Amino acid sequence: MDTNKTTESTVNEDAVRSALQTALKEAMSDSREAEKAAPAPAPAPISLEEARAALEAAKEREAAAAKAAEEKEIADAKAAKEKAIADAKAAKEAKAAEAKAAKDAKASEAKAAKDAKAAEAKAAKEAKANKKAAKKNENKPEKQAEKKSAKKKADDEPKKREKVASDAFIEFKDVRKTYIMGETEIHALDGIDFKIQKGEIVIVVGASGAGKSTILNILGGMDNLTSGTVIVDGEEVSDYDDKELIFYRRYDVGFVFQFYNLVQNLTARENVELATQVSKNPLDVQDTMIAVGLESRENNFPSQLSGGEQQRVAIARALAKNPKLLLCDEPTGALDYNTGKSILQLLQDTARKSGMTVIIITHNYALTSIGDRVIKVKNGRIESVETNANPMDIRDVEW
């Protein structure tokens, strides 16, 4: 039997192989189809321990999920609470702002009402006053205007005084100035009398401490006197009150000092302009700058000018006010010989040209020859008053 089989096998070997291959192919194809169609294979049976472990793991996962859910819930609740607080705060603020705005509006309304009422009352009062004034001055409006301008003038300027009799432009009568220093009295001026005529050049000489500056300061309304009388242009300056003195210094007196006293942060021209602004009847600034020979330096500051130039600015400043009196306290005291001489020449020429009364204090007795009048002062008293019929020109004086 076996032999037969072997034989058959050998005989049909190729056919069998082909059949087998076909069958195998079909079987594989069926198995893939079956795999596709067949339901999932039943899980493999597990042991008890494995089941327990799986259960534990499932529990843990469940607990972790529950915890996460709880935490999320807490966070959500917290966020919601914060939002509610913020919303409440914003609402409160909005309400407060609203209340404030309402309050402000009410207050401004009240203020406006009050202002309107006040304005109304003021207008009514003014109208009443105007009506009264109009009624009073019905037929004389020009008189009303006159009165108004007179009142304004009285506010601005002191009222004019009655003229006092004097045969001189300037007169000092028994003028005394006493300083009390503890127990001692210093008689800076001890009974001074002199007269000066209009347009004169007057030289005041005397030793240091004689009282020269005190005389000039009293004459210029810069110092008050202890007793006596000072008359200038028919007015009793020694009787002036403070307001009258201000106007006297402002309009009637020009001062030139030894150390110039310029405003350092103003140019030469501005220093002069400043003086003209407080003057009633000033001279032209440009003309004055030319007159003192400073037209090319008018834009320089005092610190950029020499002493002589600065004194020229100071003279221009005093002259530009067009004063009645030019008072010079040692105007060449800080200058060298030639510069001092040119300054004196300027003063002399100006006085001659303008007819201005010029008073010059000096220590230098050589200068007495240029004065129309020479007043010598000694120990607070007048030593002498002399007049020069033919005063010298400063150009011809040497010292």
Buried b (16+ CB within 10 A) or exposed e, 203-234: bbbbeeebbbbbbbbbbbbeeebeebbbbbee
Count of other CB atoms within 10 angstroms of residue 279: 16
Q: 111: helix, coil or strand?
A: helix
Binding string, 213-252, against Mg ion, x = CB under 5 A?
x---------------------------------------
Residue number with CB closer to ligand ATP (283 or 375) = 375
Residue 216 vs 268, nearer CB to ligand ATP: 216
Q: What is the spatial distance between Cα 297 and Cα 309, in angstroms, rounded to a whole number?
A: 9
Q: Which of these segments, 87-95, 120-128, 212-220, 298-306, binds ligand ATP (CB under 6 A)?
A: 212-220
Q: Report the residue number, 202 or 291, with the smaller CB distance to Mg ion.
A: 202
Given 208, 264, 281, 338, the residue binding ligand ATP (CB under 6 A): 208
The tokens describing 25, both together, are 């192919």
Site string for ligand ATP, 157-196 (x = CB under 6 A): ----------------------x------x-x--------
> In angstroms, what is the minimal distance from the CB of 159 to ligand ATP?
32
For the CB of residue 216, give the shortest distance to ligand ATP in the complex, in Å.
8
Residue 209 touches which of Mg ion, ligand ATP, none (CB < 5 to 8 A by kind)? ligand ATP
| Closest distance of CB 247 from Mg ion, Å | 26
φ, ψ of residue 372 in degrees (nearest 5):
-70, -30
- Least distance from C-beta 226 to ligand ATP, angstroms? 12
Smallest distance from ligand ATP to CB 175, Å = 12
Tokens (6 digits) for 275 = 């003086």
Q: Which of residues 74-103 bind ligand ATP (CB under 6 A)?
A: none
**How many other C-beta atoms lie within 10 A of the C-beta of residue 333?**
16
The tokens for 232 are: 């200038």
Q: What is the DSSP letter of 398?
A: -
| Closer CB to ligand ATP, 210 or 275, in the complex | 210
Q: Report how many residues bind Mg ion under the rule CB under 5 A.
A: 1
Nearer to Mg ion, 309 or 329 (CB): 329
Taking the complex as a whole, the smallest distance from the CB of residue 181 to ligand ATP amounts, in Å, to: 6
Place of tokens 């300061």: 217
Directed axis angle between helix 268-277 and helix 307-320, to 10°? 20
Structure tokens at 233: 């242009």
Separation of CA 164 from chain center:
47
Query: Shortest approach of Mg ion to residue 211 CB, angstroms?
Result: 8
Is residue 256 within 8 Å of 328, Cβ to Cβ?
yes
Neighbours of 139 (CB within 10 A): 6
Residue 219 Cβ vs Mg ion, minimum distance, rounded to whole Å: 13
**Interface with ligand ATP (CB under 6 A), residue from 170, 203, 210, 359:** 210
Strands (E), 139-295: 170-181, 184-196, 201-206, 227-232, 235-236, 253-256
Q: Is 276 in contact with 321 (CB distance < 8 Å)? A: yes
Q: Which does 358 bind (CB under 5 to 8 A by kind): ligand ATP, Mg ion, none?
A: none
- Please, which of residues 197-216 interact with Mg ion by CB under 5 A? 213
> Is residue 368 a contact residue for Mg ion (CB under 5 A)?
no
Contact predicate 198/169, CB 8 Å: yes
Q: Binds 376, which of ligand ATP, Mg ion, none (CB < 5 to 8 A, cut-off by type)?
A: none
CA-wise closest residue to 218 among 385, 94, 359, 48 = 359
**Which residues sit at the interface with Mg ion, rule CB under 5 A?**
213
**Which residues sit at the interface with ligand ATP, rule CB under 6 A?**
179, 186, 188, 206, 208-214
